Amino acid sequence: MDHKFQDEGKTIYDFIYEFYVKCPQCEKFAVVKSFPDEKGSFLFYEKRSLICGFCGFIKVYKNSPGIIGSDYPLWLESNCCGEKLWAYNLEHLEYIERFVYASIREGYCDEHGWKNNSMVSRLPKWIKNGKNRDEILRCIEKMRRSVPEKARA
Ligand SMILES: [Zn+2]
């Protein structure tokens, strides 16, 4: 059976509204939420909050510097096929999963033509390589199970 993946043209910025990290205090699962700027964009977010549901650690950042996810190690990070597989959150992980799962992958096309800046079109070659498919899907499943139940709602 053929499974089709349609690239929705999502970019990496469509996923950074929320990302999972290791809590700096207890090293368990914590969530960083980004607040959009006044234009509603997450690209140059000014404010983020880190909340850990395990030890209660809370930190609010204003004008947080640096690129997303660089402050703390990402929770969804795994060695896979000798490479590093990572995702910001479950939506991101499951989007990658749908892509890897699909045997037919269709690009994203709008009125300006085919896009090549979508998150999927920029995935590294090893993720797109069909021979890595089964191992990547296994890694993704493991990563998904590492997310606490209460974060999956
Ligand atoms: Zn904690």
pLDDT single digits (tens) 95-147: 999 999 987 777 776 666 666 678 888 899 999 999 999 999 999 999 999 99
Tokens of 146: 């590492």
Ligand 1 center to 143 CA (angstroms):
19
What CA–CA distance (Å, rounded) separates 46 from 33? Answer: 11
Residue 65 has pLDDT above 60, yes or no: no
The number of domains in the chain is 2
Side chain identity at residue 109, one-letter code: C
What CA–CA distance (Å, rounded) separates 118 from 62? Answer: 28
Residues 100, 106, 112, 117, Cα dihedral to 10°: 10
Looking at the fold, whether 146 and 85 belong to one and the same domain comes out as yes
Looking at the fold, whether 92 and 118 belong to one and the same domain comes out as yes
Looking at the fold, whether 32 and 103 belong to one and the same domain comes out as no
Domain range for 38 is: 15-62
Ligand 1 center to 125 CA (angstroms):
35
Looking at the fold, whether 57 and 130 belong to one and the same domain comes out as no
Ligand 1 center to 58 CA (angstroms):
8
- 70 is a domain residue: no
Instruction: Give SS3 for 151.
Output: helix
- 25 is a domain residue: yes
Ligand 1 center to 11 CA (angstroms):
30
Looking at the fold, whether 84 and 147 belong to one and the same domain comes out as yes
Looking at the fold, whether 118 and 147 belong to one and the same domain comes out as yes
What CA–CA distance (Å, rounded) separates 101 from 46? Answer: 35
Protein residues with C-beta less than 5 angstroms from the ion ligand 1:
23, 25-26, 52, 54-55, 57
Looking at the fold, whether 97 and 119 belong to one and the same domain comes out as yes
Looking at the fold, whether 95 and 55 belong to one and the same domain comes out as no
Best CA proximity match to 89, nearest among 75, 100, 102, 79: 75
Please work out, in degrees rounded to the nearest 5, the angle formed at the alpha carbon of residue 32 by the alpha carbons of 64 and 53.
Answer: 135
Instruction: Give SS3 for 120.
Output: helix
Ligand 1 center to 39 CA (angstroms):
32
What CA–CA distance (Å, rounded) separates 28 from 75? Answer: 9
Ligand 1 center to 30 CA (angstroms):
7
pLDDT in tens, 68-102: 545 688 999 999 999 999 999 999 999 999 999 98
Ligand 1 center to 87 CA (angstroms):
20
Ligand 1 center to 56 CA (angstroms):
6
Ligand 1 center to 37 CA (angstroms):
27
Alpha-carbon distances, residue 5 vs 53, 61, 92, 140 (angstroms):
35, 37, 15, 17
* Structure confidence at residue 41 (pLDDT): 67
DSSP label at 63? S
Best CA proximity match to 139, nearest among 94, 51, 79: 79
Looking at the fold, whether 144 and 90 belong to one and the same domain comes out as yes
Residue 12 has pLDDT above 60, yes or no: yes
- 67 is a domain residue: no
